[in-house]
Amino acid sequence: MKRLLVTGGAGFIGANFCHYWSAAHADDRIVVLDALTYAGNVTSIAQLIESGRVRFVRGDIGERDRVAALLREEHIDTIVNFAAESHVDRSIEDPQCFLRTNVMGTHALLEAARTTWTQPVAASSRFHHVSTDEVYGSLLPTDPAFTENTPYSPNSPYAASKAAADHIVRAYVHTYGLPCTISNCSNNYGPYQFPEKLLPLCIVNILEGRPLPIYGDGLQVRDWLHVSDHCRAIDRILSASPVGETWNIGGGSSEPNLMVVESVCRLVDEAFAGRRELAARFPRSAPALGKPSRSLICHVRDRPGHDRRYAINDGKIARLGFVTQTTLDAGLAATVRWYLDNEAWWRAVSSGEYQAWYARQYAQ
């Protein structure tokens, strides 16, 4: 039986991970530590909290002594660190909180573990740090996909803060023998994703009849990973990875943004054609007004320093026995369905703060 601390467990991937872990490992104890920034939504794990499967603690990973006390009180043996500022565009507007949480916060969490898990650290203890493929920088069209040995070359303040954290985690393995692993994954999508990210933003905007803002020419390529596959990959790493290893996780679905957004438009239109009640529920949406959703696509000012292409070589994690199960077509269809059926969730999280961000970000 493991005793997990899931940091950032009220965010998109962390919440999906709690749902996944709770179902896959029913006997394990799960404690969520989350500061509930604008991107954290305790409603995403409310059922798990109410049923007693998850204990929720509101707090900051940067509070080293408080975190250390929690590790001792709960006898935590496994930390999965999802907590971060995660949105590239916000890091361009204001990098400081990215350095505070992603760099200093990760360091405080490592210190809490180092001072609590006294030497020799039990073989069952593990600190897994969740990182991103953005640390590798941007690929040219003909470059080979990122491997775990690709040199770091982060281009945004967000990516640089994640790269710095990865280096600190690595240093804690080599200097202090802390039993850490790192994963660097590609773009996740699926349920509970905050609407500031491309896919939920487009789904919600179609339903609200708002433009779909495509940065630049929209031909930037991302490798789309369904969040359920990501959660299974982390499980595999926790159970089979030696200490000190890093793992790339991709979705095997590299597509330009514009094509992915067009797929989302088609899926929403098909859903409206098959479910008559949707037009009444979303009267401002393009399909309710008799227009194809793709008519909302508009090209806007590009993101500064926008990385052109990411791609993951997943050969290493395949050797751990991990394969993705969700194709992009199936994953997008399930995601569109989830947002259609969970209107209360996305309306509740689209708070005043989000509206203010949206107005600043998309003012032309």
- So which residues are the catalytic ones? 133-134, 158
Q: Binding to ligand DAU by residue 176, rule CB under 6 A?
A: no
| Three-class SS state of 151 | coil
CB of 353 to ligand NAD, least distance (A): 12
Angstrom distance (rounded) from CA 168 to CA 299: 39
Strand partners, 180: 127
Angstrom distance (rounded) from CA 302 to CA 215: 4
Q: Which two tokens stand for residue 317?
A: 């994690």
Burial of 280 (0-12, 13-18, 19+ CB in 10 A): exposed
CB of 117 to ligand NAD, least distance (A): 20
Q: How many CB atoms lie within 10 A of CB 228?
A: 20
| Beta carbon nearer to ligand DAU, 215 or 354 | 215
Q: Binding to ligand NAD by residue 11, rule CB under 6 A?
A: yes
Residue type, 300: V
Per CB under 6 A, the list member of 5, 30, 61, 260 interacting with ligand NAD is 61
Angle at CA of residue 346, ends 229 and 224, nearest 5°: 30
| Beta carbon nearer to ligand NAD, 38 or 176 | 38
Per partner kind, with CB cut-offs from 5 to 8 A, the member of ligand DAU, ligand NAD, none near residue 213 is ligand DAU
Residue type, 161: S
Q: By the 8 A CB rule, do 109 and 168 touch? A: no
State which of positions 255-284 bind ligand NAD (CB under 6 A). Answer: none
Q: Binding to ligand NAD by residue 101, rule CB under 6 A?
A: yes
Q: Which two tokens stand for residue 345?
A: 């969730």
Angstrom distance (rounded) from CA 162 to CA 304: 18
Per partner kind, with CB cut-offs from 5 to 8 A, the member of ligand DAU, ligand NAD, none near residue 172 is none
Per CB under 6 A, the list member of 4, 5, 6, 8 interacting with ligand NAD is 8
Q: Binding to ligand NAD by residue 237, rule CB under 6 A?
A: no
Q: Binding to ligand DAU by residue 296, rule CB under 6 A?
A: no
Angle at CA of residue 311, ends 307 and 313, nearest 5°: 150
Per CB under 6 A, the list member of 179, 190, 195, 213 interacting with ligand DAU is 213
Q: Binding to ligand NAD by residue 146, rule CB under 6 A?
A: no
Binding site for ligand DAU (CB under 6 A): 86-88, 132-134, 186-187, 197-198, 201, 213-215, 220, 222, 257, 303, 310
